[in-house]
Amino acid sequence: MSGPFQQVHLAVLIHGMWGYPGHLAEAERIMTETHVEPSKENPDGVQVRVLVSDANAQENTYDGIDWGGERVAQEILDEVEKVANEGGKVTRLSVMGYSL
C-alpha cells in the first residue's frame, strides 16, 4: 500500500448471554455520533470505527465462552481485513461488553 493510511481505532461492542446486538444500539449511536471522525477532542487523526458483534446472537450464547470467543475473534479479524481493504489500518482496539 502506498501513501499514508487512515489510522482506525476499532471499538468492539459485545452483548451478553441471551442478548442481541440491539441491546448495544444506544452505545453504538453515542460512540458513532461523538467519536467517529477526528475532531478537537480527537486531534491525532484516528478514526473510531464501531463494530457491534452479532456473532453470538440468539441461541449462540449457549455455546459457551470458548466458542463465543472464537466467533467474536473471527468477526474482529474480518473487520480488520475490511479496514485494510479500504486503505486503513487498525492501530487501536477497544472491547466493551456486558454479562457473560
Question: Please, which contacts does 64-70 make with residues 24 or more away whose CB atoms are closer than 8 Å?
Answer: 65/100
Q: Give the integer Cα–Cα distance in Å for 62 and 66.
A: 11
Residue 51: strand pairing partners: 12
Q: Give the integer Cα–Cα distance in Å for 78 and 92.
A: 15
Q: Using the 8-state DSSP alphabet, how is residue 63 labeled?
A: G
* Residue entry with cell 441461541: 59
Catalytic site residue 39?
no
Choice among 2, 39, 94, 99 that is catalytic:
99
The residues assigned a catalytic role are: 99
